[in-house]
Chain A
Amino acid sequence: MFFAKPSKLRRKGILGMNKRNVSYIAKYNPRSLYPLVDNKLKTKLVAETAKVSTPRLLHTIEYQHEIKQLGDVVNQYDGFVIKPSQGSGGKGILVITERNAEGFFKPSGETLTLSDIKRHVSNILSGLHSLGGKPDVAMIEALVQFDPVFDRYSYEGVPDIRVIVFKGFPVMAMLRLSTHESDGKANLHQGAVGVGLNLADGKALCAVQSNRPVDEHPDTGSHFETLQVPHWDKILHLASSCYDMTRLGYLGADIVLDQQLGPLLLELNARPGLAIQVANNTGLEPRLKHIETMKKHGFSVDQRVQYSQQQFGIL
């Protein structure tokens, strides 16, 4: 059948876009808190005070004339990431993994010159990637040294872990792996692989690519069966504490694993997508409802993580 019956989806507790917007985002995310997550620079500052680890901020560029000094800045580092502070959906993020005399290398192997990078920064400042074309600030961040645990599952890109946190409780998680098809991007609708993760232990539950279940990474051929995300408790802890840091009731935390630094918060999203349900082959709604009906608890971050692991984990 081409279309699913709405009643069947409802029975499975699949959260739809309209319901997400009306019943969760509009209800639990006060508009005044948005700048905190929409502006990555602000997120970083708040994270610092809340002792939530994030990739190190190397430099910020606010004005076009500062672009002249960009060469001096980037030449200090071999790898770095340039991103607009108000970009959304991963737009305008430029990752440089290597630098030599010839130029700068993207993860895909594409070479860029310094002027390419300067243009990118200039576009960011003009507001090309920001909502509504507002002038923006470019952030230069330290490149994350990815934990080699994902090497077998990643192709040309950045694997990250998305955790949906509702009222401070982690409710669902997935691992996003870029593929050749997704052109190194971790967006599921572009062909990245989404791996549903067991909240209890971070083990892979199932994986999908373009809505179809897959058993192995299409490019590397590694099976997901044995995949288990390390530092799992720390990851959930990190995600859960984002609630205390932003007070946003419904949010998505994107976390990466650094080889040395462990889990780092990459960015927060006040309107996280619904693809996570497909990756987990489970609906979000029963879990959200469960949290919603809980009485005032006064749980600490640890207690919330533990509660979620017991409630939503599969043992």
Chain B
Amino acid sequence: MSSRAQVYLLSFIFIFIGIGLTIYKNSELEFPLLPGERKAIWTVEAKIEFKATDKPVTVSFALPHNPPEMGILDEDFTASGYGFGWDSNQQERRAQWAKRKAKGKQVLFYKVQVFQQSGISQVEADIPPTETKVPDLSPSLKTTISQLVTYVYNRSADNTTFATELIRLINDKEPIEDVQLLLGNQGLSKTRLALNALALANVPARVARGLRLEDGRRNQKLTTLIEIFDTDHWVFLNPKTGQKGLPDNFILWQRGGSSLLDVEGGENSKVSFSIIKNSQPAKSFAILHGAENQAALVDFSIYSLPIEQQNVFKSILLVPIGAIVVVLMRILVGVKTSGTFMPILIAIAFIETTLFTGLIIFLVIVSIGLFIRSYLSRLNLLLVARISAVVIVVISIMAGMSILSHKLGISEAMSVTFFPMIILAWTIERMSILWEEEGPKEVFTQGGGSLLVATLAYLLMTNQYVEHLTFNFPELLLALLGCIILLGQYTGYRLTELRRFQPLAED
């Protein structure tokens, strides 16, 4: 195969893979193509407080388990000095913290990030309940409740209608005598009364606890719901309103099970919840979600690196954008720059300093540097020593600029430190020699060309869409590589040549 055909094949393969992966990531893994798409994520923090009594402590805490209509993104357990484990004795999911000895107030945290997941209404299989236990009640109480049950039974058709009617009666503004008696004299809570009545009526029922998700709430308590089993599925009922089903923005924390929290070796235990809603970029959502589902593209990607390294890559991945600007400006336009890739380095510095400040700083450093370099050239120094001297001069200028601007209150100029000083020193040296050998005109052409390319690269590299695409779709680099390889074969005229050879085109 000829080298030209190879180039076309190779570049088209690269472009195809790059764009193909991007489309896959967008459509399958739901990575947004544009920045700024957001998705609501609720962060719920459970704070467990208790007073330890100088004995071994075991804390067992119920955790949400496949909550319906909600997906769990991330969980975090914080308790200093406590060992953490799963309490797997029971059917439900429980966290267990333990410590050999503790005294005084103890605070443990459990943090969970959840998001609304539509379409999945019931994750947990509808397991029929085990045999219902008739509660241990005093004979008088039992009689009264039985009366209520009979009353409600006659006015219902099945378990669900029975339960809703029961709850309606319990919550009635003017309750019937039996209910009045039970709530008032016996001191039963509405929920307890309902549960007892359901048990006596042989309706399988259990308590479910959940949390209403409201942004910015602190010290929230769990809301109790009653679940009853009707022929083949569980039905949620609000014991206070009789409302069927789960409320909106509600995370079910615990179904069935005995207690929410068990503390051994402590007293006055208490759980409170705080909730924050943050709308996270859809991208970070996709990453978390993808990592959860072990999508290989996400699992073996930059996102698996620590945040610090990710940030480094964020800027490294922008370098190819600078490179393609250089390629385009060189091959298609024909701009002369001083040093092929120096403009990219300047552009990277501009990203830190912002464009305008960066341009000023660059011009100031290079002009002062050139001035001092012209003096150094009269001192007969060896080259390496001279460049080293220029490096020190550049550093001094940088320090001077920083201090001066700080004193003057111009904070922008302090970002001068982001300029790569060795590169600046070499630039000064090269421009100084250019000045001596080819005259100032060439220095301005090349210096101006460098700044022009750097500015263009900067504008592109700081474009939020470009930034978003390079970081989130690094596979686009392959497409870029393909384009660059294609450009490497371009044999047409450069824009500047159309000007240069313009006299030749005249007849």
Contact = CB atoms under 8 A, between A and B. Distances in A.
Interface in B250-287: none
B503 A19 contact: no
Contacts of A208: 503
Interface in A112-145: 115, 118-119, 122-123, 126-128, 133
Contacts of B125: none
A281 B491 contact: no
Contact of B492 (A18, A122, A212): A18
A14 B383 CA distance: 41
Q: Which of A5, A16, A18, A119 has the most CB of B within 10 A?
A: A18
A127 B502 CA distance: 37
A4 B438 contact: no
B334 interface: yes
Contact of A18 (B384, B490, B503): B490
A91 interface: yes
A123 B433 CA distance: 11
A213 B491 CA distance: 28
Contacts of A281: 503-504
B294 to A, nearest CB: 46
A9 B503 contact: no
Contacts of B380: 115, 118-119, 122
Contacts of B334: 17
A54 to B, nearest CB: 24
Given A64-B382, A278-B504, A190 B497 contact: no
A6 B497 CA distance: 9
Interface string B468-507: 0000000000000000000011111111011111111100
A278 B501 contact: yes
A277 B488 CA distance: 24
Contacts of A4: 498-499, 501-502, 504-505
Interface residues of A, number: 41
A190 B438 contact: yes
Given A6-B498, A64-B382, A126-B383, A18 B331 contact: yes
B85 interface: no
Nearest to B429: A128
A183 interface: yes
Given A18-B331, A127-B383, A183-B439, A213 B493 contact: no
A101 interface: no
Contacts of B331: 18
A169 B429 CA distance: 40
A16 B383 contact: no
Contacts of A122: 380, 382-383
Contact of B500 (A19, A22, A211): A211
Given A9-B505, A277-B501, A278-B501, A126 B384 contact: yes
B174 interface: no
A144 to B, nearest CB: 21
Interface residues of B, number: 28
B492 A190 contact: no
B494 A3 contact: no
Contact of A277 (B491, B492, B504): B504
A211 B331 CA distance: 22
Nearest to B385: A126
Interface string A255-287: 000000000000000000000011001110000
B499 A9 contact: no
A12 interface: yes
B437 interface: yes
Contact of B489 (A9, A22, A118): A22
Given A2-B499, A3-B498, A23-B491, A9 B504 contact: yes
Interface in B310-326: none
A16 B384 contact: no
A297 interface: no
A294 interface: no
The residue among B433, B494, B501 with the most chain A CB atoms within 10 A of its own CB is B501
B502 A2 contact: yes
B383 A9 contact: no
A92 B437 CA distance: 8
Q: Which of A2, A16, A187 has the most CB of B within 10 A?
A: A16
B410 to A, nearest CB: 36
Interface string B23-53: 0000000000000000000000000000000
Nearest to B438: A190
A18 B493 contact: yes
Contacts of A296: none
Given A2-B502, A9-B498, A14-B501, A19 B382 contact: no
Nearest to B490: A18
Given A3-B498, A4-B498, A115-B380, A22 B504 contact: no
Nearest to A23: B491
Given A4-B505, A211-B503, A213-B503, A19 B491 contact: yes
B502 A126 contact: no
Contact of B505 (A8, A18, A19, A127): A8
A10 B505 CA distance: 9
Contacts of A213: 503
A12 B383 contact: no
Interface string A216-238: 00000000000000000000000
A133 B442 CA distance: 20
Contact of A128 (B383, B493, B497, B503): B383
A3 B493 CA distance: 12
Interface of A: 1-6, 8-10, 12, 14, 16-19, 22-23, 64, 91-92, 115, 118-119, 122-123, 126-128, 133, 183, 187, 190, 208, 211-213, 277-278, 281-283
26 contacts: A1-B502, A4-B501, A4-B505, A6-B492, A6-B498, A8-B505, A9-B493, A12-B504, A14-B493, A14-B497, A14-B505, A16-B492, A19-B491, A22-B490, A23-B491, A92-B437, A128-B383, A133-B383, A187-B438, A190-B438, A190-B439, A190-B442, A211-B503, A278-B500, A278-B504, A281-B503
Across chains A and B, which 4 residue pairs bring their CB atoms closest together, nearest first? A126-B383, A4-B505, A19-B491, A16-B493
Given A4-B499, A211-B502, 5 more contacts: A4-B501, A5-B498, A16-B494, A19-B492, A212-B503
